[in-house]
Amino acid sequence: MQSSSRPSDRQTAIFVSVAVGIIVAVVTTATFYWVYDLALGQERAAATVVSQAPWSSSDGIKVITSSAPNVPTDGRQPWLGTDAWVQGVQAGQTWVQNNPNPVNVQVLTGMDSAQIWAYMQQYVAGALGVSCQYCHDINNFSLDTYAQKTTARNMMYLATDLNANFILQLPNWRGNYVQCATCHNSKPNNLEGFAPQFVKSVPPIHVTVDPLDSNGEAITDPALKPAAIQGQVKLQDAILYYIYNYQVWKPYDAADPESGRGSLALTYKGGRSQDQVTINQNVMNNNSWSLGVGCNYCHNSRNFTAYETQPANNVTNQLYAYNKLKAQQMLLMTSWIQANWTTYGAIAKPAIPTALEGGASSFSYQQLNGQYYNVPGCYTCHQGYNNADGISVPRAAMNQSSFVDKGDAGQVIFPQALRGGQ
Ligand code: HEC
Ligand code: HEC
Ligand code: HEC
Ligand code: HEC
Give tens-digit pLDDT for 325-356. 999 999 999 999 999 999 998 999 999 998 77
The span from the CA of 391 to the CA of 176, in Å, is: 12
pLDDT given at position 421: 86
In this model, does residue 382 exceed pLDDT 60? Answer: yes
Name the closest ligand to CA 303.
3
Least confident of 24-33, 151-160, 217-226, 368-377: 24-33
Residue 2 — very low, low, confident or very high, per pLDDT cuts 50/70/90? very low
CA atoms within 13 A on the CB side of 21: 12
Q: What's the gap in Å between 326 CA and the centre of ligand 3?
A: 12
pLDDT given at position 310: 67
CB-CB contact of 216 with 249 (8 Å): yes
**Other beta carbons within 10 Å of 195:** 26
The span from the CA of 357 to the CA of 354, in Å, is: 5
Tell me which residue of 386, 358, 372 sits closest to 191, measured CA to CA: 358
Q: Kindly report, residue by residue over 40-93, the tens digit of the pLDDT.
A: 555 555 445 445 788 988 999 999 999 999 999 999 999 999 999 999 999 999
For the Cβ of 180 lying below 6 angstroms from any atom of ligand 2, the answer is: yes
Angle at 21 between CA 15 and CA 25, to 5 degrees: 145
The span from the CA of 353 to the CA of 341, in Å, is: 18
pLDDT given at position 413: 82
Residue 12 — very low, low, confident or very high, per pLDDT cuts 50/70/90? low
For the Cβ of 293 lying below 6 angstroms from any atom of ligand 3, the answer is: yes
pLDDT given at position 402: 78
In this model, does residue 320 exceed pLDDT 50? Answer: yes
pLDDT given at position 46: 47
Q: What's the gap in Å between 120 CA and the centre of ligand 1?
A: 6
Name the closest ligand to CA 307.
3
pLDDT given at position 387: 85
pLDDT given at position 35: 52
Residue 1 — very low, low, confident or very high, per pLDDT cuts 50/70/90? very low
Pocket test for ligand 2, best of 176, 189, 190, 352 (most atoms within 8 A of CB): 189
In this model, does residue 21 exceed pLDDT 90? Answer: no
Name the closest ligand to CA 116.
1
pLDDT given at position 352: 92
Pocket test for ligand 1, best of 107, 136, 145, 183 (most atoms within 8 A of CB): 136
pLDDT given at position 49: 41
The span from the CA of 186 to the CA of 223, in Å, is: 45
